[in-house]
Amino acid sequence: MGARRALVVAALALAGCGGGDEREAIPQPSSPATINFSTPDFKDGEAIPAELTCDGAGREPTIVWRAIPPETIEVVMIVDDPDAPDGTFTHWTVYGLTGATGSGLAEEGKFPAGALNGKNSAGKDGWTPPCPPEGEHRYVFTMYALGKPSGLQAGAEPDAVNKAVEGALAHGRFTGTYERG
């Protein structure tokens, strides 16, 4: 049995143990966590401000990244809600970003020229703001550094974007939470 499969089996076995939070575990990328990836809009693990959700203007968060490995060809970002009632809901995918500068800024979600938006789980291109039906949900922002072009075209489906980041050189991650009041 491969190491990855053994980890999945172990994780599933532990998930079956009683007590505590029964929410789906956040999938872990297989690449090293070396990208410094964050937002000035909220701290990792804290609540997402209402202005970034369906209860506010629903604007895109500002995204900041640094320490992209020098051999990076393309940078990809995925935002998922693993607590959605019907399974993981993808809120945003962005790809086609160059890794040449080693860093970047997307002020209020406006990425540099060349960036492409993929479809989210609502079937629309770009950002779908958090709007959980009930309870607190986690919104996992992950950025990947790829050593080869993704080959993704504008409007790619979430599954295609997830497949494109397999074998990434590096990743960075932060999580926000939101519960409707």
CATH number for 84 = 3.90.280.10
Domain assignment of residue 14, yes or no = no
Mean pLDDT of the region 104-117: 94
pLDDT tens-digit profile of 135-170?
A: 999 999 999 999 999 999 999 999 999 999 999 999
Determine the structural domain holding residue 169 and report its residue range: 27-178
pLDDT of 100 reads: 85
- Interatomic CA distance for residues 109 and 126, integer angstroms: 9
Residue 161 located in a structural domain: yes
CB 6, CB 121: distance < 8 Å: no
- pTM for this prediction: 0.84
Contact 34, 75 (CB under 8 A): no
CA gap 82, 77 in Å, rounded = 16
Residue 156 lies in a domain: yes
Q: What average pLDDT does the segment 33-41 reach?
A: 93
